Amino acid sequence: MIEAFHHPGQAASIGDHTMPMEKFQLVADRVAGLDGVRLLRPEPVTRTDLLRVHTDNYIRAIETGKPRPLAESQKFPWVPGLYESVRLTNGAVAAAASSALSHGIAAAVASGFHHSCAEHGEGFCTFNGLVVALEKLYRAGALRTAAVLDLDLHYGNGTAQLIQDRPWIRQLSVYGNDYWNNVCFRDVTEKKHPDGPNHLSVALPAGTDGPQLLEVLEQNLPWLLQPRPPDLVLFQAGADPLRDDPYSPLNLGAADLEARDRHVFSFFRRHGVPVAWTLAGGYTRPVEKVVAVHLGTFRAALDVHGR
Residue 69 CB, shortest distance to Zn ion, in Å, is 23
By beta-carbon distance, which residue lies closest to Zn ion?
281
**206 vs 134: CA distance, rounded Å:** 32
Shortest approach of Zn ion to residue 170 CB, angstroms?
A: 20
Residue span binding Zn ion (CB under 5 A) among the ranges 31-39, 76-84, 154-162, 221-229: 154-162
Cβ 143 to Zn ion shortest distance, Å:
26
Judged by CB under 5 A, the stretch of 23-31, 43-51, 151-159, 253-261 that binds Zn ion is 151-159
User: Would you count residue 121 as binding Zn ion (CB under 5 A)?
Assistant: no
Q: Establish if 112 lies at the interface with Zn ion (CB under 5 A).
A: no
Beta carbon nearer to Zn ion, 152 or 258: 152
Q: How far is the CB of 85 from Zn ion (least distance, A)?
A: 19
Does residue 281 bind Zn ion (CB under 5 A)?
A: yes
Pick the closer one to Zn ion by CB: 138 or 283. 283
Q: Residue 86's closest CA among 66, 56, 107, 116?
A: 116
According to the binding rule CB under 5 A, does residue 186 interact with Zn ion? Answer: no
Rounded to the nearest whole angstrom, what is the least distance from the CB of residue 117 to Zn ion in the complex?
Answer: 16
Min CB(112)–Zn ion separation in Å: 10
From residue 211 to residue 250, the character string flagging contacts with Zn ion as x (rule: CB under 5 A) and all else as - is -----------------------------x----------
Q: How far is the CB of 68 from Zn ion (least distance, A)?
A: 25
Q: Decide: is 154 part of the binding site for Zn ion (CB under 5 A).
A: yes
Rounded-to-integer distance, Cα 91 and Cα 73, Å: 21
Measured from the CB atom, the residue of 249 and 281 that comes closer to Zn ion is: 281
Of positions 152, 245, 256, 261, contacts Zn ion by CB under 5 A: 152
Using CB under 5 A as the criterion, which residues of the chain lie in contact with Zn ion when the complex forms?
152-154, 240, 281
